């Protein structure tokens, strides 16, 4: 059930309450954070698989329009297929028709956090902390071009080399791709 608020903003239900998420492509999530630079800042959106914590795609923008979010979503779907459920907050980028039309046209259930409920999307909030403290704050990038180059390196490290205690010292890519990736990493 969706609810249309007075300003025309569509509010989707939160579908993850009590849901056990144990396989790749069951639930994806997205969020936006700001990235400080020497002069100014830019915005980063990431699409993450919940079960594995793998970052499937990401984009930078100097504006908060929905286009860079839709681009990241289309890339993730092209590379990895479709999840059953896609979870975001209620930001205008994620409620925009450009974004929700992609989800609906791919038969992906839309889930949105309650207002002010950052805990509803905790895994991507933890990603932001890791990105900022392990890369952004240490490097103090001067431009968006530098941020883009640095984040490409960081997300490859995050997905393929950075193991997680929750996954018994496996990387997000090992969990996402399953036993085949684990055997290749051990070789």
Query: What whole-number distance in Å separates Cα of residue 21 and Cα of residue 76?
Result: 19
pLDDT confidence band for 165 (50 / 70 / 90)? confident
Q: In degrees, to the nearest 5, what angle opens at C-alpha 73 toward C-alphas 66 and 46? A: 85
Cβ within 8 Å of residue 23, ≥6 positions away:
51
The burial of 124, by beta-carbon neighbours within 10 Å (0-12 exposed, 13-18 middle, 19 or more buried), is given as: buried
Q: DSSP code of 115?
A: T
Residue 163 has pLDDT above 50, yes or no: yes
Q: What is the pLDDT of residue 8?
A: 59
Q: What is the pLDDT of residue 117?
A: 54
167 is written with which tokens? Answer: 């996954």
Q: What is the pLDDT of residue 4?
A: 47
Q: What is the pLDDT of residue 2?
A: 47
Query: What whole-number distance in Å separates Cα of residue 173 and Cα of residue 178?
Result: 8
The stretch 40-68 carries a mean pLDDT of: 96
How much is the mean pLDDT over the chain? 89
Residue 100 has pLDDT above 70, yes or no: yes
Q: Which residue has the higher pLDDT, 18 or 101?
A: 101
Q: What is the pLDDT of residue 113?
A: 78
Residue 176 has pLDDT above 70, yes or no: yes
The stretch 19-34 carries a mean pLDDT of: 95
Q: Which domains does the chain have, with CATH numbers?
A: 3-186 (3.30.420.10)
Q: How many CA atoms lie within 13 A of 86 on its CB side?
A: 29
pLDDT confidence band for 162 (50 / 70 / 90)? very high
Alpha helices (H) along the chain: 67-80, 92-95, 97-105, 122-131, 137-139, 144-160, 172-177, 179-186
103 is written with which tokens? Answer: 């989800």
Q: What is the pLDDT of residue 164?
A: 83
Q: Which residue has the higher pLDDT, 26 or 17?
A: 26
Q: What is the pLDDT of residue 1?
A: 46
């Amino acid at each position: 059930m969706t609810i249309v608020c007075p300003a025309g903003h569509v509010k989707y239900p939160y579908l993850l309450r009590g849901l056990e998420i144990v396989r790749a492509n069951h639930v994806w999530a997205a969020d936006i954070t700001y990235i400080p630079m020497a002069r100014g800042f830019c915005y980063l959106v990431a699409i993450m698989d919940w079960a594995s914590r793998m970052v499937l795609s990401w984009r930078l923008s100097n504006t908060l329009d929905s286009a860079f979010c839709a681009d990241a979503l289309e890339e993730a779907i092209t590379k990895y297929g479709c999840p059953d459920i896609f979870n975001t907050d209620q930001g205008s980028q994620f409620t925009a028709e450009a974004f929700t039309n992609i989800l609906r046209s791919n038969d992906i259930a839309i889930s949105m956090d309650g207002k002010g409920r950052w805990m509803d999307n905790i895994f991507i909030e933890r990603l932001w902390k890791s990105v900022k403290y392990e890369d952004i704050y240490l490097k103090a990038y001067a431009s968006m071009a530098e941020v883009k180059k640095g984040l490409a390196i960081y997300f490859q490290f995050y997905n393929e080399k950075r193991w997680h205690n929750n996954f018994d010292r496996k990387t997000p890519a090992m969990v996402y791709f399953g036993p085949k990736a684990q055997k290749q990493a051990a070789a």
